[in-house]
Amino acid sequence: MSKDISQVLYSAEELAQRVEALGKEISEYYKKEHINSLLVVSVLRGSVIFFSDLIRHIDDLDLEFDFITISSYGSSAETCGKADILNDVAEKVAGRHVLIVEDIIDTGITMAAVVERFLAKGVKSLKLCTLLDKPVRRKVQNLKIDFCGFEVPDQFIVGYGLDYAGRYRQLPYIGVLEPSVYKK
């Protein structure tokens, strides 16, 4: 464990089990809805590890994937309250079933901006999947999360793609970052 981590919230094994279960849940949902083709969009950079593991557990669907890059934190521990789209998806989304994959939803500001953007482009259906949900910090109250891995406490967490100032993404677990690291 990194010296900057005060506690491991979810081990690599717990993450692997939950991600596999989420993949099966997503597969079952779309099969039940008779949807065979899905565009899965990763919100970069934080979701890339979760996204890569998740799509390998979505079975019996014709999957395409794409990426969107959003910035709302920069090098800070607090969101700036505005989501800037740095790179948009390359695929056409109009008339398609789309699943957005995010690492964590806390205030909901970033995800609300993504949802608004995709709805404006005329998607046929839009679902949200997040590995982590931090509802205690929610500022956007009407945001519907369709598939969720874990609900997390109001602590600064890193690992498995989540970072602080670009660091800790490579950790195979999700842990609580020592406040002394980000409150300098």
For 112-168, the DSSP string reads: HHHHHHHHHTT-SEEEEEEEEE-GGG-S-TTPPPSEEEEE--SS-EEBTTB-BTTBS
CB 69 within 8 A of CB 102: no
- Nearest C-alpha neighbor of 96 from the set 64, 135, 53: 64
DSSP E strand boundaries for 28-82 = 37-44, 62-71
CA–CA gap between residue 31 and residue 52 (Å, rounded): 21
Residue of 106, 146, 154, 163 marked active site = 106
Pairing verdict, β 97-105 and 5-10: unpaired
CA–CA gap between residue 136 and residue 5 (Å, rounded): 22
CA–CA gap between residue 120 and residue 108 (Å, rounded): 18
Active site residue 154: no
Catalytic residues: 106
